[in-house]
Amino acid sequence: MDNFFVFTSNNENETKQFAKDFASKLDNNTVIVLTGELRFW
């Protein structure tokens, strides 16, 4: 089963807050893969 979630951050603090909230909802044995690119506009 494939689950996809897309998150676009506007700044570093927003990314950190998302990560903290997201991680708190995961089971201990959950495997996640992060992929993407850093863009500086």
pLDDT at 30: 86
pLDDT at 23: 87
pLDDT in tens, 23-32: 898 888 888 7
pLDDT at 38: 66
CA–CA distance, 41 with 39 (Å, rounded to integer): 6
Indicate the number of domains in the chain: 1
pLDDT at residue 1 is higher than 60: no
DSSP track, 12-34: HHHHHHHHHHHHTTS-TT-----
CA–CA distance, 29 with 32 (Å, rounded to integer): 10
- Domain hosting 19: range is 1-41
Structure tokens at 19: 């990560």
